[in-house]
Structure 1
Amino acid sequence: MKTMWMKRGFGVSGLLGALLVVAGCSMAPTYETPAVSMPTAFKEAALASHEAGTWKPAQPSEAVARGEWWKAFGDATLDRLETEALAANQSLKAAAARVKEARGVQQQARAGLFPKIDAGFGPTREKASPASQGLPADGNVAPQTLWRAQATVAYEVDLFGRVSDSIAAARADADQSEALFRSVQLALQADVAQNYFNLRELDAEQDLFTRTVTLRAEALKLVQRRFEEGDIGELDVARAKAELATAQSDALAVARLRAASEHSLAILLGKTPAEFDMPARPLVPVGVQIPAGLPSALLERRPDIAAAERAMAAANARIGVAKSAFFPSLSLTGAGGFEAGSLGDLFKWSSRTFLLGPLAGTMLSLPIFDGGARSGNLARARAQYEEDVANYRQQVLVAFQEVEDNLSNLRLLSDQTRAQGDAVKASNRAAQLSRTQYQEGSISYLEVIDAERSVLQSQRSAVQLAGAQAVSTVNLIRALGGGWGDAGGPATSPQQSAPQSLTPATVAAR
């Protein structure tokens, strides 16, 4: 009998020893970032180099903080607006709160590596069975009140990596949340810059219409005087009045658009529209030229791609968690303290007690049948990983498209701006000649009106092209991940008001 118990004891201890050996072994597949199809260079960058020479990035300015790419535009007002937005934008604050939430989940998962210790105190009223006291079946056992003061310890051995894989998944989720924070931050910075340049474009249009209204009013006075002198008919006066009223209406339409743009900018800054007012200042054409760099750099610099990659890592770790459910789990529990029939005897040395092993259930649990629940959970985890892989590859493709789109926009906008400049010069000359010929009586006033309309349209198109060029420059910087140059700096913290992940360059020269 003794030999048999020794063999059984050896078998139990051997089993526990074997289980402890596999403790912490992860069941998750080995994680590797999926391969993506990547060009060696951007197509539009090659076209720009062929048509306009090779881009030569200027050296980064030491006075510019890392990641403050908007300072490349050299606009103090824009610098101030970016700082205010980073400090007060509510969407950014919500993203920072989500980072804290993810870190809390990570801390909660990491707690599984340590035992849980609790303490309790209080009485219980109980009646033991006669059999448990070694009495006959009809034995009378009186109920009794027991006072207990004890501490309990519970610890789950990390068999087959369930706990460690859960921690890895929570860590990847936290990293993803931080990358999404940087993505929201970059989107906010770009939105502020785009709204700012859009506002300045509308200021330029408003200035153009103000000058146009002045010119139309002077033209009306001239026509009115000639009508009073009998040189022309009333038709020319009516046409001049219509042109003046049309210019005034167009000026009011631009003012309406500017008010809405100013309100949008106020919201980005975390202010109500009533608290924000931006003095008018016409747009100065942006001359910043951004080198695209290598396509592979996007995988390192774009926070949305980093977030997609971290989502894959978390899904991969959760496959390990789902697999570990098919294997035994080992929980070690214990309790120790004092137990007595009266409160006065509770803390006497003779009242000490302890318990090793679970009070209910078993120490070692082996799953046998659950109707396919674990298999379904594993299939779901694998499908989630496949979905995240597809999302990651799609995000990379979208990033390449955004860079190519904005490179082509800037290349074609540059050519279009030069052509539009020629159109402005030609229309101005045509309007000047038409006014001279009208005063000489060789053409009708209708031809003067057509010429002046062409001037206004060409000038307005030039202003809109300048605004589109500024916005496309911002979009390119955003598509490149928020800056250019060395991308190996420290990551942005949600507690910081300014990013520090990328180094901006000053204006690039051809």
Structure 2
Amino acid sequence: MRRPIASGFLFSSKSLIAGLVVLSVGRTALAQPRTAPAPAGKPTPAPAGKPTPAPPAPEELPAPPDVDDPMLQPVARASTEIGTWEDALKYVRARSTDLQIALQDVARADAQSRVALAGALPTINGTGTYTHNIITNTTAQFTGIGPAGPTTRAVQTPYPNYLTGSIVATQPVLALRTWNAIGTAHVAADASRLAVSDVKRQIALGVANSIVSVVTSERIAELNRIGLRNALQRLDLTTRKAALGGATGIDVVRARQDVESARTTLVAGDESLRQARENLGLALGVPEQIGVPPTVDISGLEQGAKSVCKPVGSVEDRPDVATLKKRVEIAHRNVNDVKYQFAPTVTVQSQLATTTIDTGATPNTTWNVQAVLSVPIWDGGARYGNLHDTQAQELQAVERVEAQRRQATIDVERARRNVGVADERRRVAAAARDLAAENDRLTRASYQEGRGTSLELVTTAQALREAEIQLALREFETVNARVVAVLALASCPW
């Protein structure tokens, strides 16, 4: 006797239940069009003597009840937002610590190149000395032969006060190590410039990933709020239905559990959004949250990446591989530097000296020219040890190039393949979302007819919410995969 009474109540509160049916978890814009489905099975028969009313069309259902909750307020927008690659590059050029460190490495390499060149150019050094002798002795110094015989004068020995000065100029004539060091410094400067290009590529990739992450987090936060709003509307309708006797306590508990689950997801999503904004700020060199405006064209990131970074022919030309190849050349030159330590050196030097000491025998000012030959004979074996060390370093540099070449080859192939994989995952996620939406629609229709349960309603709503979030993730993963594919084999001269 209980079923006819419940069935009679169902049709007497038709409008209230219809309002519950219209709710679905997830964003309405992403769900399938709300078309009236054919009822699965036969509706519950009405009490004898009463005709069975036809199910109302979805467009005739009343609007869901209004709900208000503080957590429905969206996360405040960041105080600073960027919308184009040009805006991002302005921040990077001015604030990126990684870029500034790489640029200073170039400056250091240029400075070391100038230091190496100085070893092949003349050096000029001047010295001046003033001497005051405290203890002296007075002696007679012969000055010549006079009419009366030899003449002398009293002098203090050593001279109590005198000045001396000299200028020495040195010019290397045969300096194999110096000439090799000049070439090595030039190669090191080239390697530093290639490293800057690779740093720019990594920065561009990091900025693109951060922008996609922020946009993705914004979208998920929006979906989470839609899910919470729908859960609150279901709870409101279920509570009203329970007050009228059409729902049980367990129905209300399930609705409340769904609300709390939506709140948990929303809190986690909001924190992920804030962290994504902070990561974008760090990528741009700003220690604060930086957002992306809602009007940004996320699909334009690929074209933006192509405008700031140019493709290269092969992995051999990718900046990181090219930099390590320069390191091999430097290592080889370091081996030659040790070998040149066994070779003799020849320098020419000239000294101009003057003093206030008047000896009467030598001129106060002298000037000489010297050729100096230096032949290394034995240093205890240090050069042999250095030679073995530099040869091992050269072999290590060669292996690093090979390892990076292999890694770059895999990176490029994987980046290109991931474009298709991401697009396929997006299509699968879209199909899963469509199925979840259809399942939710059918479950609501069944619940409307009195055959479904609140557990099924909540479960399908949660599945639809998760499917819509997964679809949003896959859509932005596709964009990110295309950007990575552009930068995987590129050089960034910006």
TM range, smaller chain: 0.7 to 0.9
Within a 5 Å distance, the mapping from 1:26-37 to structure 2 comes to: none
* CA shift in 2, pair 1:381/1:191, >3 Å: same
Say whether residues 1:356 and 2:365 are aligned partners: no
The answer to which of 464-473 and 449-458 deviates more is 464-473
- The aligned counterpart of 1:315 is 331
Give the distance between the partners of 1:284 and 1:449, measured in 2 at CA.
33
Give the distance between the partners of 2:130 and 2:350, measured in 1 at CA.
19
Contact 2:215 2:292 (C-alpha < 8 Å) held by counterparts: no
Say whether residues 1:381 and 2:390 are aligned partners: yes
1:57-92 Cα deviation digits (max 9, x unpaired): xxxxxxxxxxxxxxxxxx943431232122211221
Within a 5 Å distance, the mapping from 1:65-214 to structure 2 comes to: 76-124=83-131, 142-144=157-159, 145-159=161-175, 161-214=176-229
* CA shift in 2, pair 1:482/1:462, >3 Å: farther
- The aligned counterpart of 1:340 is 356
- The aligned counterpart of 2:29 is none
Give the distance between the partners of 1:175 and 1:288, measured in 2 at CA.
29
1:243-295 Cα deviation digits (max 9, x unpaired): 11111110110111111121122122222216x4555679855794999x999
Match of 2:235 among 193, 196, 220: 220
Give the distance between the partners of 2:311 and 2:487, measured in 1 at CA.
15
Say whether residues 1:304 and 2:320 are aligned partners: yes
* CA shift in 2, pair 1:388/1:124, >3 Å: farther
Give the distance between the partners of 1:296 and 1:394, measured in 2 at CA.
19
Within a 5 Å distance, the mapping from 1:253-272 to structure 2 comes to: 253-272=268-287
* CA shift in 2, pair 1:321/1:368, >3 Å: same
* CA shift in 2, pair 1:92/1:449, >3 Å: same
* CA shift in 2, pair 1:482/1:250, >3 Å: farther
Contact 1:326 1:367 (C-alpha < 8 Å) held by counterparts: yes
| Residue 200 (structure 1) shift | 0.6
| Residue 201 (structure 1) shift | 0.5
SS of equivalent to 1:371: coil
Amino acid at match of 2:477: A
Contact 1:147 1:341 (C-alpha < 8 Å) held by counterparts: yes
Amino acid at match of 2:431: D
Amino acid at match of 2:331: A
Amino acid at match of 1:325: Q
User: RCO greater where, 1 or 2, for CA within 8 Å and sep 6 or more?
Assistant: 1
- The aligned counterpart of 2:412 is 403
| Residue 311 (structure 1) shift | 0.7
Amino acid at match of 2:458: I
Give the distance between the partners of 1:327 and 1:365, measured in 2 at CA.
9
Say whether residues 1:372 and 2:389 are aligned partners: no
SS of equivalent to 1:273: coil
* CA shift in 2, pair 1:174/1:284, >3 Å: closer
Give the distance between the partners of 2:488 and 2:294, measured in 1 at CA.
29
Give the distance between the partners of 1:284 and 1:447, measured in 2 at CA.
37
SS of equivalent to 2:314: helix
Amino acid at match of 2:410: Q
Gaps of 5+ in 2: 1-81, 136-154
| Residue 355 (structure 1) shift | 3.1
| Residue 417 (structure 1) shift | 0.9
* CA shift in 2, pair 1:284/1:166, >3 Å: closer
SS of equivalent to 2:376: coil
Amino acid at match of 2:209: Q
Contact 2:311 2:489 (C-alpha < 8 Å) held by counterparts: no
Amino acid at match of 1:97: Q
* CA shift in 2, pair 1:146/1:102, >3 Å: same
1:81-125 Cα deviation digits (max 9, x unpaired): 232122211221122112111111111001112111122322247
- Looking at secondary structure, tell me which structure has more strand per residue: 2
SS of equivalent to 2:378: coil
Amino acid at match of 1:376: G
Contact 1:194 1:471 (C-alpha < 8 Å) held by counterparts: yes
- The aligned counterpart of 1:470 is 479
Match of 2:250 among 226, 235, 245: 235
- The aligned counterpart of 2:489 is 480
Give the distance between the partners of 2:129 and 2:241, measured in 1 at CA.
108
Contact 2:224 2:262 (C-alpha < 8 Å) held by counterparts: yes
- The aligned counterpart of 2:456 is 447
SS of equivalent to 1:148: strand
Whose Rg is larger? 2
Within a 5 Å distance, the mapping from 1:40-51 to structure 2 comes to: none
Amino acid at match of 1:416: R
Give the distance between the partners of 2:229 and 2:298, measured in 1 at CA.
23
Residues paired across the two proteins, number = 387
Amino acid at match of 1:388: A
* CA shift in 2, pair 1:77/1:288, >3 Å: closer
Give the distance between the partners of 1:234 and 1:392, measured in 2 at CA.
69
